[in-house]
Structure 1
Amino acid sequence: MSPRKSTTQATPTAAPVANDAAGITPKGDSDTPLYVAAIGVRWRDLDAFNHVNNSNYLTYLEEARLQWLSHVPGPWFDDHAMPVMAASQINYRRPIAWPAQLQVQLFCERVGNSSMTIAHRVIDAEHPDQLYCDGHVVMVWMDPASGKPVPLPEAIRIAAA
């Protein structure tokens, strides 16, 4: 794939893309993301085929989740309740070439007693109809000492509503 020129920067307030194309059914008003992270593709993210290596998609998703969590008002972890990723599912829809500006959109798909399913989409910031991947992760809050699940923090419940 030949490189594309990217001249505009995405912002966390960018408009969401309809979820119908990805088959995601988020909780609540389905078109409103929990968070939209702007991420630029780095040269080092490329593999021998000159596109973003599939493992870097997970890094982009992790970065978006951490950005979202850093904006959650109130405590969402402490010495007795920390999130861990229990499962991840990614549908690779198309390769990402360098340079590119991405939007990683996070949606609340499900809230449980001790877990939350976060749907995600990675799209091109300049061409929002270009879907690079979609899927979801399951985050479980657990007590690191016991390794057992604990109730989802109230701050997360409120932020996911």
Structure 2
Amino acid sequence: MRIEIPEHKRLVFEMDIPIRWGDMDAMGHVNNANYFRYLETLRIEWMCSIGCAPAPQGEGPVIVNAFCNFYRQLEYPGQVLAKLYVSDPARTTFESWATLERTDQPGVVCAAGGATVIWVDFPKQKAAPLPDWMRAHLQG
């Protein structure tokens, strides 16, 4: 199945993720929980690549909503090409979107998901405005 990413979403990062033998379940395909792990890995690697390292005593991103739609099974062995898109920066939030496809089947999306991200002041446990440097990454 081919998925169109709407224009207002901007590609910001992509990476390959190996499918591990242990990612599969008794049915012989990647367990649905592992798709969320792939999406999490993609978001974290992007965050680290732009200098947004975890800062438990400061501010940073928190996922408040996550989803994944499954279109085709992923199976071992293989590599997943994960692509991350962002959109809709608001005062304290932005949207992230992702596609997962096998590297040996370019353009054929096996799953697509996303997450709403909120910027948080961790010591205060409250939402905080997106910093200018993060907004610049989101808007390109």
Instruction: Describe the shift of the 1:106–1:26 C-alpha distance in structure 2 as closer, same or farther (beyond 3 A).
Output: farther
Asked whether 1:116 is paired with 2:89, we answer: no
- Please name the residue that 1:15 is paired with: none
Counterpart for residue 25 of structure 1: 6
5+ residue gaps, structure 1: 1-20
**Deviation of 1:144 (Å):** 1.7
Select which of 130, 137, 140 maps to 2:118. 140
Deviations 1:88-138 (A, max 9, x none): 121111110111111110011221111110111001112113211112111
Q: Which amino acid aligns with 1:81?
A: E
Q: Structure 1 residues 121, 77: CA separation in 2 closer, same or farther (over 3 Å shift)?
A: same
> How far does residue 23 in structure 1 lie from its aligned partner after superposition?
4.2
Identify unmatched segments of 5+ residues in structure 2: none
- Partner amino acid, structure 2, of 1:105: K
Secondary structure of residue in 2 paired with 1:140: strand
Match for 2:34 among 35, 56, 59? 56
Match of 2:105 in 1: 127
Give the secondary-structure state (helix, strand or coil) at the position aligned to 2:65. Answer: strand
Q: 1:156 maps to which residue? A: 134
Cα gap change, 1:37 to 1:26, in 2 (>3 Å) = farther
More strand by share: 2
Inter-CA distance 70–76: structure 2 relative to 1 (3 Å threshold) = closer
Q: Does 1:34 align with 2:12?
A: yes
Q: Report the RMSD for the aligned CA atoms in angstroms.
A: 1.8
Identity %: 25
SS at match of 1:111: coil
Q: How many Å separate the matches in 1 of 2:43 and 2:125?
A: 22
| More displaced 10-residue stretch of structure 1: 114-123 or 127-136 | 127-136
Aligned match for 1:102, one of 70, 80, 98: 80
Counterpart CA distance in 2 for 1:121 and 1:44 is 21
* One-letter identity of the residue aligned with 2:48: S
How many residue pairs were aligned?
137
Extract structure 1 runs of 4+ deviating beyond 6 A. none
Deviation at 1:26, TM superposition (A): 5.0
The CA deviation at 1:22 is: 2.2
